[in-house]
């Protein structure tokens, strides 16, 4: 006989009903992790969709009304909107509630949110390292967090009990959970996510300028490496604007290092230094192998894409 599923929270309230909130809501429902799911989004249309597709049991026009009586409040809005939401919900939070967020930058969110958290409520910041280039309530799926990392960056006011409970939620949604300091999180993310996104945006921008000369070729031959840049560069403009504005120092640090490396390769190409290029590419190939061995990506060629005739 299988043990009955025990919900971790009674009532979970999501503020912002886009990709991450909808994926969490679907996963929470699938695994029976909460008794009730409440939602708020600033857009009437998004709130209506959330009800229509069954993400939420109930939606509210204001963030304050949505968090009344919730055990867990999950802030799923762009990083730049976290502070204003925290201020709006503060008077409505239940004593003993836990507020968390899913923002891609942690120090700026902690600065914006922590000051508004009333006594008797805890704040445990979190960041799931999972996403797609799609946005909105229809883009979510329950398996988004399977075998992905979720990083918790507890603050001085995060109690061990609330942190452990939130960790259990993420683990039961299929994520691997680690805890780290918020500043360290922001530096690591600048390396593995934020700067690579900036480079993708830039490369697509370069092709856009070239496209004015040979537009049809940029589209026609985009099945090679450029296609992966275009996928990343299609990511939500609001979200990424906020990431770069709020993780400024770490991104500028990594971007400086990136520029130095680029000059090393540029010089090797100019000087015809094949040994330098070969040694460099051997090192980077080993990193890719490490990612596959850690189970963070597939070893299948072209990320396991099924090649259709049109893809060429």
| Residues in contact with ligand NAP by the rule CB under 6 A | 15-21, 41-43, 46, 76-79, 81, 84-85, 102-104, 127-128, 131, 135-136, 236, 239
CB of 74 to ligand NAP, least distance (A): 10
Angstrom distance (rounded) from CA 214 to CA 222: 13
Task: Please state the closest distance from residue 148 (CB atom) to ligand NAP, in A.
Answer: 9
Which lies closer to ligand NAP via its Cβ, residue 78 or residue 174?
78
Closest to ligand NAP by CB, 21 or 112:
21
**Residue among 306, 288, 305 at smallest CA distance from 297:** 288
Minimum distance, C-beta of residue 17 to ligand NAP, in the bound complex (Å): 5
Tell me whether residue 107 or residue 218 sits nearer to ligand NAP (CB atom). 107
User: In the sheet where 34-40 sits, what is the strand order?
Assistant: 58-60, 34-40, 9-15, 72-75, 98-101, 122-128, 149-152, 176-179
Minimum separation from the CB atom of position 64 to ligand NAP (A): 11
Q: In whole angstroms, how far apart are CA 190 and each of 71, 151, 185, 195?
A: 32, 14, 8, 5
Structure tokens at 217: 């070729």
Least Å distance, CB 140 to ligand NAP, is 8
Question: Please, where are the H alpha helices in the chain?
Answer: 19-31, 44-52, 63-67, 82-89, 107-113, 160-172, 182-189, 195-220, 226-232, 237-246, 248-271, 274-293
Tell me whether residue 7 or residue 176 sits nearer to ligand NAP (CB atom): 176
Residue 175 or 218 with smaller CB distance to ligand NAP: 175
Least CB distance to ligand NAP at residue 83 (A): 10
Report the residue number, 20 or 112, with the smaller CB distance to ligand NAP. 20
- Sequence-distant (6+) residues with CB within 8 A of 209 are none
């Amino acid at each position: 006989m299988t043990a009955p599923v025990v919900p971790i929270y009674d009532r979970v309230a999501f503020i912002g009903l886009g990709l991450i909130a909808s994926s969490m809501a679907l996963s929470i429902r699938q695994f029976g992790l909460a008794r009730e799911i409440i939602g708020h989004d600033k857009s009437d249309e998004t709130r209506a969709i959330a009800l229509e597709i069954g993400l939420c049991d109930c939606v509210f026009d204001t963030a304050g009304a949505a968090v009344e009586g919730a055990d867990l409040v999950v802030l799923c809005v762009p990083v730049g909107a976290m502070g204003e939401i925290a201020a709006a919900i503060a008077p409505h939070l239940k004593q003993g509630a836990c507020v968390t967020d899913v923002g891609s930058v942690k120090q700026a969110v902690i600065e914006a949110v922590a000051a508004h958290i009333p006594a008797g409520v805890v704040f445990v910041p979190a960041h799931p390292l999972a996403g797609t280039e799609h946005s909105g309530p229809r883009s979510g799926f329950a398996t988004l967090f399977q075998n992905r990392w979720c990083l918790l960056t507890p603050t001085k006011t995060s109690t061990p009990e609330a942190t452990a409970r939130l960790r259990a939620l993420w683990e039961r949604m299929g994520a691997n959970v680690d805890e780290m300091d918020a500043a360290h999180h922001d530096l690591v993310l600048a390396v593995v996510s934020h700067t690579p996104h900036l480079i993708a945006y830039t490369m697509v921008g370069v092709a856009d300028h070239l496209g004015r000369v040979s537009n049809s070729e940029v589209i026609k031959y985009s099945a090679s490496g450029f296609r992966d840049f275009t996928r990343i560069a299609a990511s939500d403009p609001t979200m990424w604007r906020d990431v770069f504005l709020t993780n400024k120092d770490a991104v500028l640090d990594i971007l400086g290092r990136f520029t130095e490396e680029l000059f090393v390769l540029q010089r090797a190409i100019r000087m015809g230094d094949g040994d330098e290029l070969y040694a460099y590419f051997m090192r980077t190939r080993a990193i890719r192998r490490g990612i596959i061995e850690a189970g963070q990506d597939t070893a299948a060629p072209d990320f396991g894409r099924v090649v259709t005739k049109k893809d060429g």
